[in-house]
Amino acid sequence: MKINHSELTTEKQNPHTMDIDNFSTIEILEVINREDSLIAAVVKKAIPEIEKVVEYAVRALKNGNRIIYIGAGTSGRLGILDASEIPPTFSAPREWFTGVIAGGAEAVFRSVESAEDLPKDAERDLDGIGIKKGDVLIGIASSGTTPYVIAGLKYAKQIGCCTAFLICNPALLESEKFDVIISVDLGPEIITGSTRMKAGTATKLILNMISTTTMVKMGKVYGNLMVDLQVWNEKLRDRGTRIIENLTDLNYKEAGKVLKKSGGSVKTALIMVNKSCSKKVAKELIKEYDGNLRGIIGDISI
């Protein structure tokens, strides 16, 4: 399908910023802020589609599969950013979320703009990370036309993956072939075509929603506390100790001691205290209840 890029919303001129180069500094900042303030309301309209992606993602993880982001430029970097933050935040296996970017590792730090026009590279890159049937591939492309991303989605669909396409334009005919289309039409960018701005912000919001909600549904939090965190540094040690203190009758010092005995696992420590059991038994309970802490210790007033 031949795409007329001039018709894309993200390529149109924003009527509110036509003379931005004549604006004062405060006027530039204010117009950027006004445009940014519209983003959350547009993203809200896409929640039903985002919900579908989360459902696919949870099912995939429970079946031993994973979630893969694929994008080019800013979109690819945002996917890698979101995927990289899941393990330290939720103590999730690193393979659960993976990011793939056109142009490879170099493109994370330096612009490799031509890479998005190489659709054949997408299949190679996805095979390189071991994509398999049952995985969820989330393509990210503000324009909705990036050849590399579309080729990746087509390949994933062909081998039996669930496919979702996140775009910041009205859905195009090409995208109808995929399982879920998350389309957020944000209007023209502040600087024409600069999708690192509003489109980038919307993408970050949506990826946060997908990954965080998936982790909640996978039992990685209790209430709104990160009970599945693993202590790797002093900040996390303090946070973990305070969580244990908050959910038990222990004081801060006592909570710190049981956290140490647990091997630095907040969830394990909480079960050890609640069930008056050993670290070994606590880990067995975690496995038996598929990591669901509430199923093990019940409801505790937070």
Which positions are catalytic? 85, 116
CA 114/CA 157 separation, integer angstroms: 25
CB 281 within 8 A of CB 262: no
Number of Cβ within a 10 Å radius of residue 166: 32
272, with CB counted inside 10 A (0-12, 13-18, 19+), is buried
Beta bridge partners of 140: 71, 166
> 182, 85, 109: which is closest to 141 by C-alpha?
182
* Cβ contacts of 237-245, under 8 Å, gap ≥ 24: 237/264, 240/264, 240/266, 240/269, 243/270, 244/269, 244/270, 244/273
Measure the CA–CA gap between 80 and 98, rounded to whole angstroms. 7
Q: What share of the chain is helix, strand, coil (3-state, %, to 5)?
A: 55, 10, 35
Cα–Cα dist 155/149, whole Å: 10
Strand, helix or coil at 160?
Answer: coil
| 190: its two tokens | 């502040």
Tokens of 182: 């998350």
User: CA Rg, the chain, in Å?
Assistant: 22
Eight-state DSSP code of residue 196: T
Q: Which two tokens stand for residue 43?
A: 């993203």
